[in-house]
Amino acid sequence: SNLTFSLSLSSPVIKRAKSKMGKGISKLLNELDSLVNPLEGLTLEDADLEFASDLDIRNLVDWIQSGKAKKIMVLTGAGVSVAAGIPDFRTPGTGLYDNLQKYNLPHPQAVFDVGFYRSNPQPFVTLAKELWPGLTHSPTLTHSFLKMLSDKGLLLRLYSQNIDGLEYLAGIPDDKLVECHGHFRSATCIDCGTTADADSVKNTIVKNGTVPECKNCGGNVKPDIVFFGESLPDRFHRLLRTDIQEADLLLVMGTSLQVAPVSMIPDMVQCDHRVLFNREPVMKIRSGQDIFLPGDCDDHVQELCSILGWKDDLEKENAKVQIDDSNNKKKAESED
């Protein structure tokens, strides 16, 4: 990385050559000089960060079809659920944090803070009522694609940072799914640690919009979502140790890679290739090894499945897991 690009068409050698050439050639060299000069002083490491990979989606297809990728590890973030109507966290104007102002929080992240929940649980309860899995939001095409990878025996493990439960609703088996930041399917008292009845907690939050209380100590109960300051599940750490060694391909999909320790996974894996499905290039793209597919995840998933010949199966798989929102609305209205 100490080497630098020192090529310049204004060097003494080139200047002497230009003086001996016709005006046309000299003009062309001058124009080229203006393009090359910006590279002066640029280290190889800088160049690697700046310039996109020369690989594309066709290389990904080849890795899958040739059998080079048969232990695929996947890391997903909120971006894979945007097409389901669930906002991501950090997009200015539309992200979840920007839209939490109505809860009068000291700062947006407080809604996922244990100390704040202990003293003022209502903002999280109100948010949880809107986001509770299985009521209005259905798995996206990306979720169904990951289910297909599992069905085809190609999925080593899916590490999801999301709490929307859409991977679970898509039918991805428990042993293939690591919900890094927890889920809504179980609940615990934040004071005494007693496990609460999950259905009762759901009814209290979703139907009544109130705070569930612990029957043992009277403390506040919350779904087993990992709040700031809480440890990630033991299963995350246990499986990650071996998965980062076994994976032969990593797919990073719809994430800002801003929350540790999950954000470190792309640098921890030992496989040769990583593919980033994302609107922004949030990790280093290694030339000749990694692929960056900019844009929405579902768009690239559809393109990939079309080339692989999986498109019809993808659409059928996704159709099976769509939630009939009209029935849920009628049920809610009758309960009111």
Q: Which residues are catalytic?
A: 181
Q: Tokens representing 156?
A: 């080593």
Q: Which position has the token pair 């003086």?
A: 19
Distance CA 192, CA 89 (A): 30
Q: Which of 302, 292, 280 is nearest to 251 (CA)?
A: 292
**Cα gap 33→131, rounded to integer Å:** 56
Structure tokens at 271: 């496989």
Q: DSSP readout, 290-319?
A: -EEEES-HHHHHHHHHHHHT-HHHHHHHHH
Cα distance between residue 254 and residue 325, in whole Å: 25
Single-letter amino acid code for the residue at 207: K
Give how far Cα 153 sits from Cα of 187, 221, 224, 252, 262, Å.
32, 38, 29, 19, 24
The answer for residues whose C-beta is within 8 angstroms of residue 284's C-beta and 6 or more apart is: 48, 49, 290
Tokens 């990630």 belong to 232
Residue 261 preceded by cis peptide, ω within 30: yes
Secondary structure of 167-213 as H, E, C letters: HHHCCCCHHHEEECCEEEEEEEECCCCCEECHHHHHHHHHHCCCCCE
Give residue 30's identity as a one-letter amino acid code. Answer: N
How do 72-76 and 221-225 pair as beta strands?
Answer: unpaired
Beta strand extents in 208-281 (DSSP E only): 221-225, 249-253, 274-278
